[in-house]
Structure 1
């Protein structure tokens, strides 16, 4: 009975704080984004606004990127309507229930570092989010974590619960959700089999070059027969042009001499 009384008292305190804190309104959203219609908002940053209640945030039906970090948010109910939401930052809030996020099928990246999540069971509601690849519960640089991070094996539990995860707490997952890890493991196995073929008793020989030693040496340029023929024909054309020019000069000189021996042209009658 005493525990139930404490829970009821905590919920009452939270409701009172919600009444005193900032509530998300259409006016707040339009003033922040400059959009006239809430459906037009695709990216929204409401960091450190003292927000307690999410209000009409669910009306931003096309929202894809949302930053609510550094507030005092407890309840996430309005976020269940955000079907297009892909990136959500809830760091440094007071969230202990993530169930509304189970209705966000496109969620890919979720940051809930610095909240009140006490056990992995509180995350099981997100198991249906097949696109969730990046999950952060702890941020050492910002000194943020959840109570469940005190368990030494919580990361392994997350990987088991969400096999599609590629990053946990900002670090690459070395488990089933990491294609890079699988690729490296397969490569190591392949190299191991190659070394085992020689019995493993002898060290590997020196690496052999992929190409001949003289492959990268510059080679002397050679003119092809086609180029040689082109040069020959070009020389012949130049020679013909010079001959034509010489003949033209001779003809012009002969004409000038012939005209120089005539009398005044004005005496001719036409």
Structure 2
């Protein structure tokens, strides 16, 4: 009889084969696969995954992957999730010339040198190495000045760790940071005598602004809408945080709100 340890080891040594890919997608031609979700299957070896030449969207999160070599041939890949694995070297992804979004949170990247292979990706717009909501990080995230160094290393990237560093929306993130810093420095802002917040702060957006339209039938579009919905959830939380922070700052500084100050 197999022990639990043996079963666990077997579950974390899965190799991607043509049979596995066909079973997961229903496609008999690997080059026809456009979208592939292989989350939490104990995959340790990417096997023949590099043969999926038309692959555009790939989720390999929650596995036991250490090497990304086979992914270097995926020229059409645009969205890749490799979070929660055991990856230290992202260099093979330099061959994914159309990569736009990379989620590598919860891995073993410990230095900027291990990210050097990504600097040639001209279309990369979103890069995540940390996900506080999922408590997923890389060792590099603990480095002093990590975020600034990332922004300098990838000047074309608009979103780092889910936070806009350039382009539309980046000013809102910076405003929240500045308000947080000011509030922490404000005397008595966190004192015991501070009254409960009152609901006089106007909402940043109109009711129903964050509602998502029904997804289209295309599997790729459905997955894209799902990811978009997750981003919107983060935006909701950010909007609430901004409202609360402004309310606290106003009360700490004893400033009455001006209704016209929240118009954009």
Q: TM-score range by the shorter chain?
A: 0.5 to 0.7
CA contact (8 A) 1:22 1:50 kept: yes
Q: Which residue of the partner structure matches residue 253 of structure 1?
A: none
Structure 1 stretches of 4+ with a deviation exceeding 6 A read: 17-20
CA contact (8 A) 2:130 2:136 kept: yes
Structure 1 residue runs without a partner (length 5+): 1-16, 186-206, 208-270
Structure showing greater radius of gyration is 1
In the alignment, structure 1 residue 37 sits paired with structure 2 residue 29:
yes
Map Cα deviations across residues 7-51 of structure 1 (whole Å, 9 max, x no partner).
Answer: xxxxxxxxxx89970000000000000011000100000000000
Alpha-carbon shift at residue 75 of structure 1 (Å): 0.5
User: Paired residue for 2:84, among 71, 78, 92?
Assistant: 92
Alpha-carbon spacing, 1:153–1:44, altered in 2? closer, same or farther (3 Å): same
Alpha-carbon spacing, 1:162–1:18, altered in 2? closer, same or farther (3 Å): farther
CA contact (8 A) 1:18 1:53 kept: no
User: Paired residue for 1:56, among 48, 69, 77?
Assistant: 48
Mapping of 1:110-121 within 5 angstroms? 110-121=102-113
Which whole-Å CA distance do the structure 2 matches of 1:18 and 1:147 have between them?
Answer: 28
Which whole-Å CA distance do the structure 2 matches of 1:60 and 1:135 have between them?
Answer: 23
In the alignment, structure 1 residue 178 sits paired with structure 2 residue 167:
yes
CA contact (8 A) 1:43 1:64 kept: yes
CA contact (8 A) 1:165 1:178 kept: no
Mapping of 1:159-178 within 5 angstroms? 159-173=151-165, 177-178=166-167
Aligned Cα root-mean-square deviation (Å): 2.4
Alpha-carbon spacing, 1:151–1:18, altered in 2? closer, same or farther (3 Å): farther
Which whole-Å CA distance do the structure 2 matches of 1:121 and 1:179 have between them?
Answer: 29
Which whole-Å CA distance do the structure 1 matches of 2:106 and 2:70 have between them?
Answer: 21
CA contact (8 A) 2:105 2:137 kept: yes
The structure whose RCO (Cα within 8 Å, separation 6+) is larger is 2
Alpha-carbon shift at residue 151 of structure 1 (Å): 1.2
Alpha-carbon spacing, 1:71–1:19, altered in 2? closer, same or farther (3 Å): closer
Alpha-carbon shift at residue 181 of structure 1 (Å): 4.7
User: Paired residue for 1:71, among 63, 69, 82?
Assistant: 63
**What TM-score do you get using the length of structure 2 for normalisation?**
0.60
Mapping of 1:127-206 within 5 angstroms? 127-173=119-165, 177-178=166-167, 181=170
| SS state at 1:164 partner | coil
| SS state at 1:66 partner | strand
Which whole-Å CA distance do the structure 2 matches of 1:64 and 1:25 have between them?
Answer: 19
